[in-house]
Amino acid sequence: MLSKEKIQRINELAKLSKTRELTLQEKKEQDTLRKEYIKVFRSSFRKQLDSIEIVD
């Protein structure tokens, strides 16, 4: 699971991008955090799918 601080930072950057243009450094940080979030999400989702057992 992604830490609360990282999720909060993702949200902060998203809010900032709605009010002003992000700096190059902020854009890179946002991209890195989003990729990390997606990686963790996919891993967690894959584990859920793998644990599903279909019964006829």
- The predicted model gives 13-25 an average pLDDT of 97
Which pLDDT score, from 0 to 100, does residue 56 have?
A: 83
pLDDT for the residue numbered 30? 97
Q: Output the 3-class SS for the chain.
A: CCCHHHHHHHHHHHHHHHHCCCCHHHHHHHHHHHHHHHHHHHHHHHHHHHHCCCCC
The reported pLDDT for the residue numbered 29 is: 98
Q: What mean pLDDT comes out for the span 16-32?
A: 97
pLDDT category, 26, cuts 50, 70, 90?
very high
Q: State which fold the 4-51 domain adopts.
A: Helix Hairpins (1.10.287)
The model's confidence at residue 1, banded by pLDDT at 50, 70 and 90, is: confident
Please state the domain extents for the chain.
Answer: 4-51
